[in-house]
Amino acid sequence: MSNASDTAMTRAPAGLSVMDATMVLVGVVIGIGIFGFPPLVAQHAGSEAAYIALWCAGGFVMLIGALCYGELGSAYPGAGGEYLYLTRAWGQRVGLMFAWARCTVIQTGAIAVVAYIYGDYAQRLVPLGPQGPALHAAISVVALTALNVAGTRYSKRLQWTFTMLTLAALAAVLIASLSATGDSPLRSGAVTPLAGNPAGLMGMGMVFVLLTYGGWNEAAYLSGELRDPARNMSRVLLTGTAIVTGAYVLINLALLEIFGLQGLRDTPALGADVMQLAAGPYAAALLSLTICATALSTINGTIITGARVYCALGRDVPRLSALAAWSTRNDAPAAALLVQGAITLALVALGAFSQNSVQTLVAYTAPVFWIFMLLVAISVVRLRRLDPGRPRPFRVPLYPLPPVLLALTCAGLVYSSAVYAGAGALIGLAVLAAGLPMLRLLKLEPAPG
């Protein structure tokens, strides 16, 4: 593993300028979540000030997280990401547990969440009855999994096009929000007080905020290709964080002006509602169609990257070697895609039996995700001690403060998402725990001693 990483480090071309890397980071972070998660954040914020504070805090966490990933990525570039960092810092057992969690909880849960965001908007365009969002979500998973099994190469080329559509849709909502301010019929003045521990509610609100900011860990893959990373990496992260945070705070201030806090809590498809208010039903339908396209792009991209994790697990574990099978006819990891699709459909079904599908699926993934993010944060400190001679073109400034702050934040999010998220969190943790005997059964780890 180290030899491959060393080779990758010496061969990585340094072709990205500060602006190139900044635009990549912004393009990865700003995604479909901004059209689905604000109502869920509002449901956990007791006031409009607390709501905006959560979005500002999310930008700060994005920055310290990206700083930590920037150091790890510059020291250990190449394929693997968190799997590589965790294996180096904590050993093969922890790395393989992460692979299990990513295959059964994190990646499949992320696909199901975005599929339900797609379903909420698709239901506006093509109603399919009371379970319409769930049906649309299931259809999208089946169709895109089949597309990838067929080996359609054009799907990868569409990702950047749909990213631009996402930014265009975000700009349209912001412009429509500004033009629709004033006496908005969507605005609800009376705010229902929230029941529960305020700190726990804010913690769950932060879970949804950070899902919207998701993608900042891609900084790990920018540092290996950035020109003069020791000087420029901090510029990329500071500039990218400022752009993303500014965009999210502006759009949420506009949404509060239109809906009010209570109105925002109650809307299932905020983008369509804003466009209908500002420009009529045809504009709302057009925006819903655009958001559906961007959601399908996100689902497709996540299916592509997720299947590769199954392949890696199949290559590392002889008893799971079937997952590594690659169809030479279609140039696709067919077995991995089918297993991933089956698990995702089971999660879509779980969401269909809950009152709030997206919230249930986020609860399923969140505690497991933040447990491993906590371990990644501590890995920055641990790897400096275990591997002090390793070249680190970019080093976290103010070390060890950023990794410590990230670790404490992750610990709080593990607690909030496990305690306040309900049954979905317990199911996710149970699936993670099931990996322990499963790994031993498959002989993925040696016996103690």
pLDDT along the chain (449 residues), means of 10: 38 62 73 81 90 94 89 74 86 87 88 89 87 92 86 55 68 69 60 76 89 75 67 79 88 84 78 66 75 79 75 74 72 82 92 81 90 95 94 89 95 87 83 82 48
Both ends of the chain: CA-CA distance in Å?
24
Buried b (16+ CB within 10 A) or exposed e, 249-266: eebbbbbbbbbbbebbbe
User: Residue 41: enclosing H or E segment and its boundaries?
Assistant: helix 38-42
Q: Give the count of alpha carbons within 13 A of 359, CB side only.
A: 19
**Phi, psi (deg, nearest 5) at residue 16:** -90, 130
**Residues whose CB falls within 8 Å of the CB of residue 129, separated by 6 or more in sequence, listed in order:** 135
Determine contact, residues 358/421, Cβ cutoff 8 Å. no
Alpha helices of 91-228 — where are they, by DSSP H?
92-101, 107-125, 132-149, 154-179, 198-212, 219-222
Determine contact, residues 174/250, Cβ cutoff 8 Å. yes
Q: What is the pLDDT of residue 375?
A: 96
Distances from the Cα of 13 to the Cα of 7, 79, 206, 227, 249, angstroms = 12, 15, 36, 9, 35
User: Which has the closest alpha carbon to 123: 135, 133, 110, 109?
Assistant: 133
Distance CA(144)–CA(113), nearest Å, equals 15
The vertex-87 CA angle with 83 and 92, nearest 5°, equals 115
Q: What is the pLDDT of residue 5?
A: 39
Signed CA dihedral, 443, 444, 448, 449: sign only: positive
Determine contact, residues 390/383, Cβ cutoff 8 Å. yes
Beta strands in 323-368 (DSSP E): none
Q: What is the pLDDT of residue 356?
A: 77
The encoded tokens of residue 428 equal 């996710």
Buried b (16+ CB within 10 A) or exposed e, 179-211: ebeeebebbbeebeebeeeeebbbbbbbbbbbb
Rounded to the nearest 10°, the torsion over CA 74, 167, 138, 211 is 50
Q: What is the pLDDT of residue 448?
A: 39
Q: What is the pTM of this model?
A: 0.80
Residue type, 391: P
